[in-house]
Amino acid sequence: MRRDVFQAIADPTRREIINLIAFQSLNLNAIAENFEMSRPAISQHIKILTECGLVSIKKEGRERFCEVKFQKLKEVSQWIEQYSSFWNNKLDALEIYLSANKTKVEPKK
Amino acid sequence: MRRDVFQAIADPTRREIINLIAFQSLNLNAIAENFEMSRPAISQHIKILTECGLVSIKKEGRERFCEVKFQKLKEVSQWIEQYSSFWNNKLDALEIYLSANKTKVEPKK
DNA sequence: AATTTGCGTAAGTAAATACTTACTTATAAA
DNA sequence: TTTATAAGTAAGTATTTACTTACGCAAATT
């Protein structure tokens, strides 16, 4: 069972959870109120988010407050930023590079 | 069946494919040679990547060259960058913000 | 002390995912 | 024109995913 950040943010519900608790730490029931699905379903999503390090839980009495560990998102943005030179107005340069490397290609009719 | 960029990059094989064709367009067999799995498996991954717009295919005779559409990755980086202020040396500010919004919390013993 | 609240977990399920092998089609080479 | 190559597709399968309901337990309230 994979449990990494890429997998965690693939699910739209989990991205919504992150949006929800990005600016204020909420307990589990407060999160669940914002969704149509059952509380245990949200609990399971939170489990996935904590297991990959994207969310941390602070116990306060019987409540558990969830907050986002934004540093973890860095793993994703760093993977993407490898390629960032290709979309910062340098798409033409990429086209040139690619076509220069396809020397055996027939010209279009 | 969801078919978005977040889902597409969740699979490690598909991220490897993107890495592989990031700097040079390759045809399907050339891509498949780099993996242990069968060619049809790679073909199916490419299908997912094209259906979400992350890869485009250029037909050349009987070959199909795959190249990355980097612009699509922007969707992911933009989602993450909403929160970027929280990890650019501003983590302390976040801690302050969060604790300021938990007024009913008991002090630690 | 009894009840309510917050939340985790177990078990079950339908659908999705990530493969496989077998087959087909289109193009190119012999 | 026969054969080889590139690659899409179909069908089958094991595993994973995203839920559900039912239940249990610890902390708080009555």
The minimum CA-CA distance between B23 and chain A, rounded to whole Å, is: 8
Lowest mean pLDDT among A5-9, A44-48, B104-108: B104-108
Residue-level pLDDT at A27: 98
Mean pLDDT (whole number) for A88-104? 47
Contact A74, B61 (CB under 8 A): no
- Give Cβ neighbours of residue B24 (< 8 Å, ≥ 6 apart): A98, A101
Nearest to B60 among A61, A86, A105 (CB): A105
Instruction: Give the residue from B77, B78, B74, B95 showing the smallest Cα distance to B86.
Output: B95
In B, residues 13-42, which contact A (CB 8 Å cutoff)?
Answer: 15, 22-25
Rg, C-alpha atoms of chain B:
21
Q: What is the 3-state secondary structure (H, E, C) of chain A?
A: CCCCHHHHCCCHHHHHHHHHHCCCCEEHHHHHCCCCCCHHHHHHHHHHHHHCCCEEEEEECCEEEEEECHHHHHHHHHHHHCCHHHCCCCHHHHHHHHHHCCCCCCCCC
Phi and psi dihedrals of B57, rounded to 5? -115, 135
Residues facing residue A27 across a β-bridge: A65
The tokens 């060259």 sit on which residue? B65
Phi and psi dihedrals of A59, rounded to 5? -75, 135
- Give Cβ neighbours of residue B57 (< 8 Å, ≥ 6 apart): B46, B50, B64, B65, B66
Residue B94 has pLDDT above 80, yes or no: no
Residue B107 has pLDDT above 60, yes or no: no
Give B5-72's CATH code, choosing from 1.20.1050.10, 1.10.10.10, 3.40.640.10, 1.10.3720.10.
1.10.10.10
- Convert the pLDDT of each residue in B4-58 to its tens digit: 999 999 999 999 999 999 999 999 999 999 999 999 999 999 999 999 999 999 9
B-chain residues near A13 (CB < 8 A): none
Higher pLDDT, residue B90 or A15: A15
Contact B23, A98 (CB under 8 A): no
**Residue-range domain boundaries for chain A:** 5-72
Instruction: Give the residue from A14, A32, A29, A30 showing the smallest Cα distance to A68.
Output: A14
The minimum CA-CA distance between B71 and chain A, rounded to whole Å, is: 6
How far, CA to CA in Å, does B28 sit from each of A28, B42, B43, B53, B57? 46, 8, 7, 17, 10
Q: Residue A96 corresponds to which tokens in the numbers above? A: 């040139």
Nucleotides of C under 7 A from a protein CB: 5-10, 16-22, 26-28
What is the percent of chain A with per-residue pLDDT over 70, rounded to a whole number? 79
CA A44 from centroid of its chain's CA atoms: 17
C-alpha atoms less than 13 angstroms from C-alpha of A107 in its C-beta half-sphere: 1
Q: How far is the CA of A64 from the C1' of D21 (A)?
A: 23
Higher pLDDT, residue B8 or A85: B8
Confidence of residue A17 (pLDDT cuts 50, 70, 90): very high
Confidence of residue B88 (pLDDT cuts 50, 70, 90): low
Residue-level pLDDT at A86: 73
Contact A23, A37 (CB under 8 A): no
